[in-house]
């Protein structure tokens, strides 16, 4: 099986791309994919979200799933880099106090491997007709959806639209603020067949996707039909205008296994 991916992003209405605080990265060679959503209320959350997804693609935390200790160790170099990237001397006192609390972001990492021989697993390749295994872990409300034909097999880490809240657990650039989030890390694994689709979405879009599914009008065909950023913008703008989608940075990745 070979992966094919399309990715789309749109900042909040009224904001520019420079103010976009979500992040998405993937490496098809390693079959790794990551999405993060920086919290607007925190300082430099865009840089924190980008750091998380980039590091996951380069070197994910040890363990499937990673332990609290492994996740904490994995975060340390990124936390140090985030602090070092701030010009503290130029910040006014109120901005300095806010930055000391750190940046916060929801995060989800997804990785695929072969279910076959050891050599196939090392290569992360499947033979024709063979299943892949996947593993994901998440903190917060970025979501993964696995769809087979028209059926939703998996929604993770949230599987009901009512579960989204204004205060999800988030990974923090300040280690002091990570104790609760590390304990709330969620993990799930599964199998992937040829033809399966995986959708990664930040929280506003993920909530809409679940609401559509609950209403009996699953959005998979609509989302798979998207080809350009312009089409994605038209869809999201229409949903925002109708009140179906909260005005927030909106990110989508559509991954097909062929």
Would you say the C-alpha torsion 101, 102, 106, 110 has a positive or negative sign?
negative
Q: Is the pLDDT of residue 104 over 70?
A: yes
pTM here is: 0.92
* Mean pLDDT of all residues in 27-35: 95
Mean pLDDT lowest for which of 75-89, 204-218, 223-237?
75-89
Q: Is the pLDDT of residue 123 over 70?
A: no
Q: Who's near 41: CB < 8 A, 6+ residues apart?
A: 104
Q: Is 111 helix (H, G, I), strand (E, B) or coil?
A: strand
**115 — pLDDT class (breaks 50, 70, 90):** low
Would you say the C-alpha torsion 9, 11, 17, 23 has a positive or negative sign?
negative
* Mean pLDDT of all residues in 82-92: 85
User: Would you state the pLDDT for residue 124?
Assistant: 47
The helices-and-strands tally (H runs, E runs) of the chain is 8, 11
C-beta of residue 34 within 8 angstroms of C-beta of residue 107: yes
For residue range 139-187, list pLDDT tens digits in order.
Answer: 999 999 999 998 999 999 999 999 999 889 999 999 999 988 999 999 9
The DSSP letter of residue 228 is S
**130 — pLDDT class (breaks 50, 70, 90):** low
Q: Residue 249 phi/psi, 5° resolution?
A: -55, 135
For residue range 59-73, list pLDDT tens digits in order.
Answer: 999 988 899 999 999
**116 — pLDDT class (breaks 50, 70, 90):** low
Give the chain's domains with CATH numbers.
3-257 (3.60.40.10)
Report which of 102, 111, 88 is spatially closest to residue 32, judged by C-alpha positions.
Answer: 111
Mean pLDDT lowest for which of 43-47, 87-91, 170-174?
87-91
**127 — pLDDT class (breaks 50, 70, 90):** very low
For strands 186-192 and 132-139, give the pairing. Answer: antiparallel
C-beta of residue 185 within 8 angstroms of C-beta of residue 178: no
Task: State the burial class of residue 12 (Cβ atoms within 10 Å of its Cβ: 0-12, 13-18, 19+).
Answer: middle
* Mean pLDDT of all residues in 5-11: 97
Residue 250, CA distances (Å) to 8, 168, 194 in order? 8, 17, 28
**2 — pLDDT class (breaks 50, 70, 90):** confident
């Amino acid at each position: 099986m070979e992966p094919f991916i399309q990715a789309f992003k749109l900042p909040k209405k009224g904001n520019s791309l420079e103010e976009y605080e979500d992040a998405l990265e993937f490496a098809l060679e390693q079959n790794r994919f990551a999405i993060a959503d920086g919290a607007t209320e925190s300082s430099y959350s865009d840089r924190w979200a980008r750091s998380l997804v980039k590091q996951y693609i380069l070197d994910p935390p040890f363990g499937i799933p990673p332990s609290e200790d492994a996740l904490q160790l994995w975060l340390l170099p990124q936390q140090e880099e985030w602090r070092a990237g701030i010009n503290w001397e130029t910040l006014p006192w109120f901005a300095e106090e806010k930055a000391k609390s750190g940046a916060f972001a929801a995060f989800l990492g997804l990785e695929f491997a072969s279910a076959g021989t050891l050599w196939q697993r090392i290569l992360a390749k499947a033979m024709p007709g063979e299943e892949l295994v996947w593993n994901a872990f998440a903190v917060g409300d970025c979501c993964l959806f696995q769809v087979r034909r028209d059926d939703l097999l998996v929604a993770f880490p949230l599987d009901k639209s009512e579960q989204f809240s204004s205060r999800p657990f988030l990974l923090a650039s300040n280690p002091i603020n990570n104790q609760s989030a590390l304990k709330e890390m969620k993990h799930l694994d599964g199998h992937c067949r040829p033809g399966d689709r995986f959708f990664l979405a930040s929280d506003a879009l993920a909530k809409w996707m679940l609401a559509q599914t609950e209403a009996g009008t699953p959005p998979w065909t609509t989302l798979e039909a998207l080809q350009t950023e312009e089409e994605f913008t038209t869809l999201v703008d229409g949903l925002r205008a109708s009140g179906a989608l909260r005005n927030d940075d909106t990110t989508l990745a559509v991954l097909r296994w062929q």
